[in-house]
Each structure stands twice: as structure tokens, then as C-alpha cells.
Structure 1
Amino acid sequence: MAAVAGHEDTRTRLLATALRLFTEHGVEGTSLQMIADALGVTKAAVYYHFKAKDEITEAVVEPALRELESIVGEAARERRPGARIDHLLDGFVDIVVRHRALVALFSSDPGVSRALEKHFFGKESAMVGMMSILTGPDPDPARDVAAHAALAGIALAGGSPELAHYGDDTLREALLDVGRKLLGRPRPRRTPER
């Protein structure tokens, strides 16, 4: 059991190190040797976990994509269209805020973009599910554009280095507010404090 825990700990450290180096140098500018050096292990130890940098890149983005797929599934099960949109918007913003460094890479690094293409833009992808929830079955051009603008804008702003000084709660609230405006959703009513 300890060997499995050590294996997972090394893999977790490797992925965290890869994300940090990808953020600093880009995917293309980060070598397997750089990852090994930063971890203090041999390149062979990196190869034990991953055979290629593309596998590392996919593994770095996979947890956020799994979370997103889960949010899309939960939202799709909501009964009312407005509740589906609200659930999706809340979950998407939460993922963007929690994975800021990764989201910044999504929009700026071609290596991460390639890793996302097969998971994010296929027929059964999270993006298709998100757009279906946000636009409904027969979207008009304004609704379609608003949904795309909301998703892209939230992701770009959430991962923007220029907004990194905002705390998570502040950024989350601002992104939700912008998303609601773009999607024509009312602000949630706050119950008065007693």
C-alpha cells in the first residue's frame, strides 16, 4: 500500500511541477528533463509515469475537464432551463477561479490547446453540453453569441495575469455578475441578515 501511495504522491508532485513549469515556460518550452530536474529525479523516473510530454499535458488538464463534465451533467439534470443555466454558470466560474493558472494556459499555450481539442471540442464534449444548456435547442444569433462571449470572457478574464491580484471570492463574484449580464440571468436574491 505504501508503494501505491508513494507512486501517487510522485505523480501528483510531477503534475504540479509540470503545471508550474508550463506556466513559466509554456508547454513547448518545458522539457521532460526540466521537469525531472525541478523534481530532483532522473528523466527515467518521469518516463516511468508518462511516456511523452503530451501525456503529461493531458494529465495536467484532466482533473479540471472531469470537474467541468460533472458540472455539465448536474446542470443538465436540473428541471427548469433557468436553473440549468445558473448551475452551469456557477460551476464554470468556480472551476475557472480554482484553476486560474491552468485556465491562463488554455488561452495562451498551443500545447495545452492541442491537449484540449480532443476532449473539449468533440461531438460529445463538455463544450457542446455547455452550449446546449446556455442556448437551448434553437438559439437565435444573439443568444448563441452571448453564450460564447460569456464562456470565453469568463475563461479569459479568470486566467488573466492582470487580474491575479484579486482574491478568489472577489473574482468569482465579478465573473458571475458579468456572466449573468451576458446571459440575461437575474442576480440571486440575498436574504437579509438578522
Structure 2
Amino acid sequence: MSAVDVPDVSHPADARQRLLDVALALIARHGFAGTSLQMIADDLGVTKAAIYYHFRTRDQLLIGLVEPMLYQIRQFVEEAEKRRTPRMQMNAMVEGYAVAVARNRSLAAVLVFDPSVHRVLQHQPTWGSLIARQLKLLTQLDDGPRGVIKATALMTGLAGAATGAPAETDEQSLTAELSEIGRHMMGLRQPRQPRGAA
């Protein structure tokens, strides 16, 4: 057995993260349906056995890839739900979502635009529940079809804008731009700054 047949277990977290980084780059280029475990192994210079050490299936790999971003979005949803008024909740949701997509530019596009990713995630109860909670927050002022369309346009639009932003745009600047665009799309005003805030 050659060295590449054996996963590097001395630094399993590093090896797993490198695997996820390569997988994301390939999925962004070829789509989830067009990316095989063999392609990921080839790109890493290892055998499929090394991939299986971390993930038994492509679907498991995808879940591992998206879980950190879903966790971030869940935190923002929970924070938004604690706000007192519908407008405050919507503002918090827009800003939280802007942070999440600015922080995860490539992954945001994969999550929003790749239908084969949706196929896998729709079987994950947590993901479906999270989308429903986001929609509920964002459609409070217009719970009809128009409200759902606006909320969907917000989520897909900000994810696409984050992915298409110039590479040199830093995360903080991108978050601020996306938040402003999102508020405008949803008909929200800039939240008032506390007195004495810069």
C-alpha cells in the first residue's frame, strides 16, 4: 500500500478541511452532480480510500461542507427572532444573512444556485426548517406571494452578489454593501445607531 492510500491521521482536522476546500472548488466549477469522489481524490493526489476515512458518500461530504454556514445562519435567525418588532426582526435577518454570504462566498452560490445541492439538502429536516424560519421572518410585512418572491430574491440575490463581488473586496465592506442592498430590496430603513455610536 502506498503512502497516498492511507489517510493522514496525524492531523485529521487539517486533512478534512483540505478535502472540503478542494471539494468546494470542484463543486463550484462542475456542480455537485458533476463532481465525483474520484475527482476530489485525484485533485488531492490520494485514493478514494482516503476520502472514505472522512466521508462515506458524496451526500455526507456535502453536509459536512455546508454545516458550518447553516450553523451561522441558524444563529442569525435565532438572534433575529428575539427582536421586538417585525421591522427589527427583518433588519436583523437581512444583516445576518449578509454576514453569512459575505463570509462564505463560494459556498453561498453553491447552496442557492445548484439544484443537485437542493435535492440533498431538502432531505435534511434542519435545512428545511431553517429556510422556513428565514421566510417567516422576511415576509412579516407581506405574507402573500409577493412577499415570498421578495424574500427569495433577497436570498438568491445576495448570494449571487457575494460570489460575483471583486476578490479584493474585504468581508466587512462586502457585508455592509449587501446589508444596504438587502434593506433596500425589502423596503427597510437603516437601523438607528445608539447615541454616541460612530
Q: Shorter chain as normaliser: what TM range?
A: 0.7 to 0.9
The 5 Å alignment of 1:37-76 reads 37-76=42-81
Query: C-alpha distance in 2, partners of 1:145/1:28?
Result: 27
What does residue 7 of structure 1 align with? 12
| Number of equivalences | 188
Gaps of 5+ in 1: none
What does residue 81 of structure 1 align with? 86
One-letter amino acid of the structure 2 residue matched with residue 19 of structure 1:
L
What does residue 5 of structure 2 align with? none
One-letter amino acid of the structure 1 residue matched with residue 133 of structure 2:
G
Q: Aligned pair 1:131/2:113, yes or no?
A: no
Query: C-alpha distance in 2, partners of 1:8/1:193?
Result: 40
Query: C-alpha distance in 2, partners of 1:81/1:137?
Result: 7
Residue 189 of structure 1 and its aligned partner are, at CA, apart by: 4.7
Normalising by the residue count of structure 1, what TM-score does the alignment of the two structures yield? 0.82
Query: C-alpha distance in 2, partners of 1:66/1:32?
Result: 25
What does residue 186 of structure 2 align with? 183
Normalising by the residue count of structure 2, what TM-score does the alignment of the two structures yield? 0.80
Q: Find runs of 4+ consecutive structure 1 residues off by over 6 angstroms.
A: 190-194
What does residue 147 of structure 2 align with? 143
- Whether the 8 Å contact between 1:64 and 1:95 is mirrored in structure 2 is yes
Secondary structure at 1:145 match in 2:
helix
Residue 107 of structure 1 and its aligned partner are, at CA, apart by: 3.6
Query: C-alpha distance in 2, partners of 1:24/1:7?
Result: 26
What does residue 98 of structure 2 align with? 93
What does residue 155 of structure 1 align with? 159
One-letter amino acid of the structure 2 residue matched with residue 171 of structure 1:
L
Secondary structure at 2:76 match in 1:
helix
- Whether the 8 Å contact between 1:134 and 1:147 is mirrored in structure 2 is yes
- Whether the 8 Å contact between 1:57 and 1:111 is mirrored in structure 2 is no
Gaps of 5+ in 2: 1-7
Secondary structure at 1:187 match in 2:
coil
One-letter amino acid of the structure 1 residue matched with residue 182 of structure 2:
G
Q: Report the CA distance shift for 1:50/1:142 in structure 2 as closer, same or farther (over 3 A).
A: closer
Residue 138 of structure 1 and its aligned partner are, at CA, apart by: 7.2
